[in-house]
């Protein structure tokens, strides 16, 4: 097991990142906790990522989940639910208003509710795996006022 020790505001925070990497991502991401310390909040509103972690000061500017949460929500939830709705229509042939009061709310809730945990999961994955777009290290260094190095990334630890 690989353990990564991070120095945060004078204190050391330890996080398992090899054998427990997946569990750490799931725990912090799905609960909306800081992927570095596991204590601070990742979100300042439902889908708005905070600027910094209030516990350890992690700068969330690296986080760019973009359309990932919507994509996963549609693929994992909406696609199977659409098959279920079509099955109900074919099997029982209900009147249209039955779908209005059953299928529509199930589809809306099924697609909207997972957005928050999926976005948290993606942000935590980006941090733990140190993911960034190829070729953006120099730009991030300029934005953060750092010298450009070969191993440069937009993560602040």
Question: pLDDT digit string (tens) for 18-59?
Answer: 568 999 999 999 999 999 999 999 999 999 999 999 999 999
Question: pLDDT digit string (tens) for 100-117?
Answer: 999 999 999 999 999 999
pLDDT at 16 exceeding the cut of 60? no
Question: pLDDT digit string (tens) for 128-157?
Answer: 988 877 666 777 677 667 776 655 555 555
Q: Of 12, 58, 79, 90, give the one whose Cα is nearest residue 155.
A: 58
pTM of the model: 0.74
Query: Is pLDDT larger for residue 13 or for residue 134?
Result: 134
Where do we find the tokens 């690296």? 62
């Amino acid at each position: 097991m690989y353990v990564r020790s991070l120095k945060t505001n004078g204190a050391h925070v330890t996080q398992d990142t090899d054998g427990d990497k997946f569990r750490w991502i799931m725990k912090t991401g799905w609960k909306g906790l800081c992927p570095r310390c596991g204590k601070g909040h990742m979100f300042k509103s439902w889908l708005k990522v905070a600027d910094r972690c209030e516990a350890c000061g992690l700068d969330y500017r690296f986080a760019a989940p973009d359309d990932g949460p919507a994509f996963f929500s549609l693929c994992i939830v909406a696609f199977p639910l659409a098959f279920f709705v079509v099955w109900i229509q074919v099997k029982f042939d209900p009147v249209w208003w039955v779908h209005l009061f059953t299928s529509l709310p199930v589809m809306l809730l099924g697609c909207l509710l997972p957005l928050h945990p999926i976005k948290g999961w993606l942000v935590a994955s980006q941090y733990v795996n140190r993911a960034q777009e190829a070729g953006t290290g120099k730009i991030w260094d300029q934005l953060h006022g750092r010298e450009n190095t070969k191993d440069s990334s937009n993560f602040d630890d």
